[in-house]
A and B are shown apart, each in its own frame.
Chain A
Amino acid sequence: DARVTQTPRHKVTEMGQEVTMRCQPILGHNTVFWYRQTMMQGLELLAYFRNRAPLDDSGMPKDRFSAEMPDATLATLKIQPSEPRDSAVYFCASGPDRGGNQPQHFGDGTRLSIL
């Protein structure tokens, strides 16, 4: 089965450090989503790409977060500088763009702890 692959699965680092999370969407999927999951807030949409172009990143703190798709097989989410409140599980999801009514396919996430 095709799967969304996220690396690393776990990351522990000290506040102030740069964190880069990577995602390989399913081949042929042209929509990519980044989510953050915490106990308090649940699942929050951070950014959304279609055909590698960012369509919506309003859920992302702009001063420290950035999301890019250097090519169709790689999406990155960077935090610089990281803060303890960024500790969460970050999920990438991809989906086909066939005019709506499509499920999203999730990776297993990056569990991030900022000390």
Chain B
Amino acid sequence: SQQGEEDPQALSIQEGENATMNCSYKTSINNLQWYRQNSGRGLVHLILIRSNEREKHSGRLRVTLDTSKKSSSLLITASRAADTASYFCATDEGNNRLAFGKGNQVVVIP
């Protein structure tokens, strides 16, 4: 099955800065989702963007989707120490089955 691949793999930023992560995938999708995972916890859904959408916002999160390039980006604005986590993109090819990328470790330094 296809997998999203995040880029960069690890990111370290100062509190207040913006963090941008990219995700690429290989086949047609129904939607693309971003999840956050704090250490020792399960994944938490952040945002879902459908294949016919190009941009979506949720609080300090901004997601873009370019289906022609098969890529998505997640922007976290004005980062906080609490944003330190791993971030995963996941593609839904249908039937709600998700294929996850390897994850992107973000460290926000206070």
B97 and A48 contacting across the interface, CB-CB below 8 Å? yes
The count of residues in chain B whose C-beta lies closer than 8 Å to any C-beta of chain A is 26
A107 and B42 contacting across the interface, CB-CB below 8 Å? yes
Who on chain B is nearest to A3 by CB?
Answer: B42
The CA of A105 and the CA of B40, in the complex, are separated in Å by: 16
A42-B103, A101-B92 are known contacts. Are A91 and B42 too (CB-CB below 8 A)?
yes
A104 and B48 contacting across the interface, CB-CB below 8 Å? no
Q: Does B68 count as interface, using CB distance less than 8 angstroms?
A: no
B43 and A91 contacting across the interface, CB-CB below 8 Å? yes
Partner of A97, one of B30, B88, B96: B96
Who on chain A is nearest to B99 by CB?
Answer: A45
Name 4 extra pairs, CB < 8 A, besides A33-B97, A33-B98: A42-B101, A100-B96, A101-B92, A103-B45
Q: Does A115 count as interface, using CB distance less than 8 angstroms?
A: no
A106 and B100 contacting across the interface, CB-CB below 8 Å? no
The CA of A4 and the CA of B40, in the complex, are separated in Å by: 15
A45 and B30 contacting across the interface, CB-CB below 8 Å? no
Interface residues of B, Cβ cutoff 8 Å to A? 1, 3, 30-31, 33, 35, 40-45, 48, 50, 88, 92, 94-103
Q: Mark A29-57, 1 if CB is under 8 A from B, else 0.
A: 00101010000001101001000000110
- Which residues of the other chain, A, contact B50 by a CB distance below 8 angstroms? 101
A56 and B42 contacting across the interface, CB-CB below 8 Å? no
Q: Does A109 count as interface, using CB distance less than 8 angstroms?
A: yes
The CA of A32 and the CA of B50, in the complex, are separated in Å by: 22
A42-B102, A56-B97, A109-B42 are known contacts. Are A103 and B33 too (CB-CB below 8 A)?
yes
Q: Does A83 count as interface, using CB distance less than 8 angstroms?
A: no
- Which residues of the other chain, B, contact A43 by a CB distance below 8 angstroms? 43, 88, 100
A108 and B45 contacting across the interface, CB-CB below 8 Å? no
A101 and B30 contacting across the interface, CB-CB below 8 Å? yes
A106 and B44 contacting across the interface, CB-CB below 8 Å? yes
- Which residues of the other chain, A, contact B101 by a CB distance below 8 angstroms? 42
